[in-house]
Amino acid sequence: MGGGSLLAAYSAAGMASNTPPVTRDESELVSDSAAPCTPKVRTLNGWTLPYRLNGDVKEFHLVAEPVEHEFAPGTRATCWGYNGSTPGPTIEAVEGDRVRIFVTNHLPEHTTIHWHGIILPSGMDGVGGLSQPHIQPGETFVYEFVLRQHGTHMYHPHADEMTQMAFGMMGMFIIHPKVPRERSPDRDYCLLAHNWALHPGTYRPDPSVLQDFDLWTFNSKVFPAIDPVVAATGERVRIRIGNLSMWNHPIHLHGVQFQVTGSDGGAWPEALWRSESTEIVGVGQMRDIEFTAVPGDWAFHCHMAHHTMNAMGRDLANPVGVKVSEEARQLTKLLPGYQPMGEGGMAEHAMHVAMGHHEGPENTLPMMVGQGPHGPIEMGGMLTMVKVRDDLPKGQFSDPGWFKPPAGQVARVVDPRLAPPLRRSE
Amino acid sequence: MTEVIERLQRKFAFFESRWVTCAKPVLVAILAFGLSACASLSRDSSENRQQIAAQITAGEVEVIERERVAADNRPSTLLPSTLAEARSVFMDHSPIVQDRLLAYDITLSDINQSEGGYSNPTLALGRFTGVGDSVKRLFEVGFSLIDLVSIPAANRSLEYELMRARAQVELDLFEGLVRLEKAWVAAGVSGARLELRQHQTLFLGALAALSADYLEAGNITEVEHQARLQAYLTAQNELGLARSEAHGAKSELGQLLGTPYAVFSELSVPIWSTAQHAPLEHTAVFESAREANKHLRSIATQIPIADNLRDRLRWARWLPGLGMTIEVEREDGTQKGPKIEGDLPTFDTQSDALVSMSKRAQRARQQVALLERDIEFEIGRLVDQLDAEAEVLRRLEHQILPLQRKRLALRQREESYMLIDVFELAEEKLILLEQLHELIDATERYWLDQASLSHQRGSLLREADTLVWQQFLPGGLTGSPAGEKGYDDHGVHRMDHSDHDMSGSAYQMEHEAHGKDHSGHRMTQGMDQADRKVGNVDAGRRPAANGVLGAHSSHQQSDSHEQALKQKPQAKKKASTVDGAASGH
């Protein structure tokens, strides 16, 4: 059956009612006609969409709809997503599968879904107006195609894209190879990088912002709310990274040299793997990285410094180095609440916030947050940790807590006279 | 009176042509002197006993005669704290009031002097020697009968004149009270305005000082800093003008109250709230104004005067000048008999005067009607304006200012999270201050209009509660953070923070030294540029301090701030010495 006729056949409301959508309610993950849901990929803070086998066709049902989303405790927004979440659930299938994906539109405007990076018939590509009519509010469309490739891919709307993506409509589409590689990773994670113009004090993302975003997220969460990547020592770990934000992200992992093992073109042959500690994931691109876990708590983040911050001001008068005079301190009486700070650097701000001295705008996270075992971590946004433990049971993905380093393996304060510094001189 | 005198003159002329008289003038003079002396004695004693004074009774200004009080007319040293007290001081001590009362007293005396007086009867005795030894003796008593009619009529006119004079003086005093009320409002408002300007100047001064700190650190440009400095200097100008305005307003109030110059500046006047404003109904206000408007009442007194004059002339012009004489003449035998003589009013010699009087009466009525119409329109304008101003103030007090205050608090939160900087935050406070100026200006307009409306209604301004405009400033006027997270808290926080391991660490000290090095280097270049531009080393480096010290006068409120700014260059010099040392690699 051709794509066009399928669309016509399945756009009837009666057909959609035969395949009720799966929501994020875990109790609904398995229905009487559904195949056992055994996701291979762990979506940080997310979930995988179960499918139903209809003959030899895997049927998925996505519902585009508004969702209430929390980026981290203290910041939430009315976003748009799929099946109750942003990002939408990860779709997993196997190379060679025939997939049938129902898409119901519960948004207040029309939408489509583009299967980003997937080889398929033109009519299934999901570009509204070009490859298909728009899915009007209340309508259900169906997409059906055979997966002729494997690798890490994404899905997102291709209708009023700026608004709908800015509101959080996106998801991962992972196609496993029909013939698994000789040594598959022990743990397989995926995340989608995104940016949000959720202005301090507001509750809905602003789609008109081009570059000055407020929140930088992995799977629509900011540090410290992003789940850690958890592994046991010596395990092979893969992290699949997609980027549907408006910026490139140099993703950096501490503690190891990872191999880049795949990209938009799918999994690379081992001969093409390359070792890196930072890999730029461009806008609209995907990258797979793999490494062998070594014990410790390792930072994993975008290396654009302001992408590991939460909402911050622009064009501020720089306070660093400003010695506030006594007469200027009069302002603290005339502007109750104002406190000069930042002379020594902006960490002072994070410290005051952590100590509860400052109250910020509602629904806003401080620029720098997070308390580690040794003090404030002073980051935000696209930061999480790779937590590797020797004794982690197989199948445990929950946060194992802070790493306890062996004695003598933590940097410490010493008497500076022990090592007089050398400085450049004439 | 003139008529009587003329008639007497004619009578005397008649006698002189026929006989020589000698005794009559003497008797008339003696009689007149005696009566006059009695009247004078009576007048002197009343002058010492009575005094014309003014008092406010049930919202009405009333001129009264009262016992003379020895302490009156001395300058008052009272500094009233309420409008009621001010009115009392005004009525008892104001030189303006005293002057008007004295003028009224003079008018009253003049009227009393004119009141009166039937013409004295005439008495004539004579002895004439005729041809041979014939002797003719004459006894004549005369009285002008017309006086019986004309004198009471003239007195009635004087009563009207007195009424008019009284209405005029009460109008003058009432207008004086209105002027006092407006001066009271102006003094209160200008005091509030001055207080606000002082706060604003202090605020902009502190902001300019902070800006200078940023400039010195090399973190902002001179252009950015100069804008803030200009704002501060402009605020100083406005403060000077506000001080002058407040001084002028108090001066006028002191002048009206008769306060000695040495103490008038101590007058302390509150600014009133408009919270009690009730919408006014134009018709009702106008009806009450028709009854009680002082100007209208004063003008209206002209109507009976004009009517009286006209009516009097209407019938008096036909009255003959009648005189009655009893004459006794003895020569050979006794002859006696009454004689009545008088003019024959043949011609209507007063017809034009009557027309003039009629027109005057008509004009008096027209003037009253015209004034009533003016009052009606003026009341309409004032009622509309007051309702509009009350609405403006209600919105300012209950919506705009609380919103801006909340906005400032929210912006403060943004500043706390480094989403905006302190200079952007300051803009919000400046908006708040401008809105407070609007509040004070609108309050002034409202109460001046209320005073004008009361003027039209012939009533006195009702005192209101004090407007605590400072409530709209975060922390109040002094910036006290009571009830808000404020400076003191932060002081504690700073101490907490100092306990943290970052302060005093070798790492931080090293970076501080680097920062100083950098700052010192940059700022030297900045100074050179400033020198070239302004020709003054300090102009670019410490513009706040320099500008302030150059432009500021010795005003108490800014003194502490100036002292601080005066110390600033020394502190900076010290800092730059450290910087210089640090920069010498």
What's residue B332's pLDDT?
Answer: 62
Give contacts of A321 with chain B, Cβ < 8 Å: 217-219, 515-516, 518-519
Question: In this structure, what token pair is assigned to residue B339?
Answer: 């004689």
Helices (H), B218-277: 222-257
Q: A171-176 and A91-94 as β-strands: parallel, antiparallel, unpaired?
A: parallel
Q: Is B575–A323 a contact, with Cβ atoms under 8 angstroms apart?
A: yes
Task: Output the furthest CA–CA distance in chain A (Å, rounded).
Answer: 84
State the first-to-last Cα distance of chain B, in angstroms, to the nearest integer: 114
Q: Which of B198, B200, B204, B210 to mutate to test the interface with A (most CBs of A within 10 A)?
A: B210
Give contacts of B516 with chain A, Cβ < 8 Å: 321
Whether residue B60 has pLDDT greater than 60: yes
**Cβ pair B436, B401 in contact under 8 A:** yes
What's residue B393's pLDDT?
Answer: 94
What's residue A14's pLDDT?
Answer: 34
Whether A418 and chain B come into contact, CB under 8 Å, resolves to: no
Q: What percent of chain B has pLDDT over 90?
A: 31
- pLDDT bin (cut points 50, 70, 90) of residue B126 is confident
- Measured CA distances, B59 to A392, B83, B454, B462, B565 (Å): 93, 13, 11, 10, 54
Give contacts of A342 with chain B, Cβ < 8 Å: 418
* A contact residues 387-406, partner B, Cβ 8 Å cutoff: none
| β-strand partners of A280 | A250
* B contact residues 222-281, partner A, Cβ 8 Å cutoff: 224
Whether A122 and chain B come into contact, CB under 8 Å, resolves to: no
What is the pTM for the complete model shown?
A: 0.76
- pLDDT bin (cut points 50, 70, 90) of residue B483 is very low
User: How far does B497 lie from chain A, in Å, by closest CA?
Assistant: 8
Whether B569 and chain A come into contact, CB under 8 Å, resolves to: no
Q: What's the whole-number mean pLDDT along residues B222-240?
A: 97
Whether B202 and chain A come into contact, CB under 8 Å, resolves to: yes
CA neighbor of B82 nearest in space, from B174, B184, B165, B157: B184
What's residue B583's pLDDT?
Answer: 33
Give contacts of A357 with chain B, Cβ < 8 Å: 489-490, 493
Please report, as a single letter, which amino acid is at residue B40.
Answer: S
What's residue B267's pLDDT?
Answer: 87
Q: What's the whole-number mean pLDDT along residues B368-387?
A: 94
| β-strand partners of A116 | A154
* DSSP per-residue letters across A14-75: HHHHHSPPP-S-GGGSS-TTBPP---SSEETT--B---EEETTEEEEEEEEEEEEEEEETTE
Q: Which of A214, A327, A415 to mutate to test the interface with B (most CBs of B within 10 A)?
A: A327
Give contacts of A366 with chain B, Cβ < 8 Å: 417
What residue of B is the nearest CA neighbor of A316?
B421
Q: What percent of chain B has pLDDT over 70?
A: 64
> Regarding predicted confidence, which is higher, B466 or A125?
A125
- pLDDT bin (cut points 50, 70, 90) of residue B4 is very low
Whether B477 and chain A come into contact, CB under 8 Å, resolves to: no
Rounded Cα–Cα distance for residues B63 and B164 (Å):
13
Q: Taking phi first (over 0 means left), then psi (-120 to 50 degrees means alpha), and beta for anything else, what does residue A45 get? A: left
Please report, as a single letter, which amino acid is at residue B66.
Answer: R
From B206, B420, B508, residue closest to A330, measured CB to CB: B206
- Measured CA distances, A110 to A122, A155, B252, B523 (Å): 20, 16, 73, 58
Q: What's the whole-number mean pLDDT along residues A174-183?
A: 90
Lowest mean pLDDT among A374-388, B418-432, B437-451, B489-503: B489-503
Q: Is A359–B561 a contact, with Cβ atoms under 8 angstroms apart?
A: no
The dihedral sign for the CA sequence A292, A295, A298, A300: positive
Q: Taking phi first (over 0 means left), then psi (-120 to 50 degrees means alpha), and beta for anything else, what does residue A296 get? A: left
From A200, A318, A332, residue closest to B490, measured CB to CB: A332
Q: Is B479–A333 a contact, with Cβ atoms under 8 angstroms apart?
A: yes
Whether B196 and chain A come into contact, CB under 8 Å, resolves to: no
CA neighbor of A199 nearest in space, from A3, A87, A344, A363: A363
User: How far does B402 lie from chain A, in Å, by closest CA?
Assistant: 16
CA neighbor of B165 nearest in space, from B157, B364, B89: B157
Rounded Cα–Cα distance for residues A144 and A57 (Å):
9
Rounded Cα–Cα distance for residues A313 and B424 (Å):
11
Whether residue B74 has pLDDT greater than 80: no
Spatial CB neighbours of A12, under 8 Å, sequence gap ≥ 6: none
| Per-residue buried b or exposed e for B61-83, using 16+ beta carbons within 10 Å of the residue's own CB | bebeeeeeeeeeeeebebbbeeb
User: How far does B227 lie from chain A, in Å, by closest CA?
Assistant: 14
From B410, B422, B503, residue closest to A338, measured CB to CB: B422
CA neighbor of A350 nearest in space, from A383, A379, A308: A379
* B contact residues 519-538, partner A, Cβ 8 Å cutoff: 519
Query: How many other CB atoms sit within 10 Å of the CB of residue B554?
Result: 7
Counted across chains A and B, CB pairs separated by less than 8 A come out at: 195
What's residue B229's pLDDT?
Answer: 97
CA neighbor of B96 nearest in space, from B187, B178, B173: B173
Whether B480 and chain A come into contact, CB under 8 Å, resolves to: yes
Whether residue B516 has pLDDT greater than 90: no
* A contact residues 262-281, partner B, Cβ 8 Å cutoff: none
Whether B203 and chain A come into contact, CB under 8 Å, resolves to: yes
Q: Is A327–B564 a contact, with Cβ atoms under 8 angstroms apart?
A: yes
**Cβ pair B194, B240 in contact under 8 A:** no
- pLDDT bin (cut points 50, 70, 90) of residue B120 is confident
ipTM for the complex? 0.86
Q: What's the whole-number mean pLDDT along residues B429-455?
A: 95
> Regarding predicted confidence, which is higher, B493 or B382?
B382
* A contact residues 358-377, partner B, Cβ 8 Å cutoff: 358-361, 364, 366-367
Whether A322 and chain B come into contact, CB under 8 Å, resolves to: yes
Q: Is A360–B511 a contact, with Cβ atoms under 8 angstroms apart?
A: no
**Cβ pair B568, B212 in contact under 8 A:** yes
Q: State CA A376 to chain mean position distance.
A: 23
Model pLDDT for residues B400-412, shown as the tens digit of each residue: 999 999 999 999 9
Average pLDDT of chain A is 90
**Cβ pair B576, B523 in contact under 8 A:** yes
What's residue B331's pLDDT?
Answer: 61
Q: Is A425–B585 a contact, with Cβ atoms under 8 angstroms apart?
A: yes
Whether residue B8 has pLDDT greater than 90: no
CA neighbor of B284 nearest in space, from B462, B464, B457: B457
From B210, B481, B508, residue closest to A324, measured CB to CB: B210
What's residue B504's pLDDT?
Answer: 32
Q: Is B419–A340 a contact, with Cβ atoms under 8 angstroms apart?
A: no
Whether residue A240 has pLDDT greater than 60: yes
Model pLDDT for residues A353-369, shown as the tens digit of each residue: 888 888 899 999 999 99
Spatial CB neighbours of B458, under 8 Å, sequence gap ≥ 6: B60, B174, B288, B289, B291, B292, B293, B294, B296, B297
Model pLDDT for residues B20-48, shown as the tens digit of each residue: 444 444 444 455 455 554 444 454 445 55
Model pLDDT for residues B79-88, shown as the tens digit of each residue: 898 998 999 8
Give contacts of B417 with chain A, Cβ < 8 Å: 200, 311, 353, 358, 360-361, 364, 366-367
Beta strands in B50-99 (DSSP E): 50-57, 60-67
Whether A332 and chain B come into contact, CB under 8 Å, resolves to: yes
Give contacts of A327 with chain B, Cβ < 8 Å: 205-206, 209, 544, 561, 564-565, 567-568
Q: Is A360–B413 a contact, with Cβ atoms under 8 angstroms apart?
A: yes
> Regarding predicted confidence, which is higher, B473 or B218?
B218
Q: A187-196 and A171-176 as β-strands: parallel, antiparallel, unpaired?
A: unpaired
**Cβ pair A359, B418 in contact under 8 A:** no
Average pLDDT of chain B is 73
What residue of B is the nearest CA neighbor of A340?
B422
**Cβ pair B189, B437 in contact under 8 A:** no
Model pLDDT for residues A64-79, shown as the tens digit of each residue: 999 999 999 989 999 9
Q: Is B210–A328 a contact, with Cβ atoms under 8 angstroms apart?
A: yes
What's residue A234's pLDDT?
Answer: 97
Model pLDDT for residues B535-556, shown as the tens digit of each residue: 232 333 333 333 333 333 334 4
- pLDDT bin (cut points 50, 70, 90) of residue B317 is confident
> Regarding predicted confidence, which is higher, A202 or B511?
A202
Whether residue B365 has pLDDT greater than 60: yes
Helices (H), B258-350: 282-292, 294-300, 302-316
Q: What's the whole-number mean pLDDT along residues B146-172?
A: 80
Whether B6 and chain A come into contact, CB under 8 Å, resolves to: no
> Regarding predicted confidence, which is higher, B272 or A384?
A384
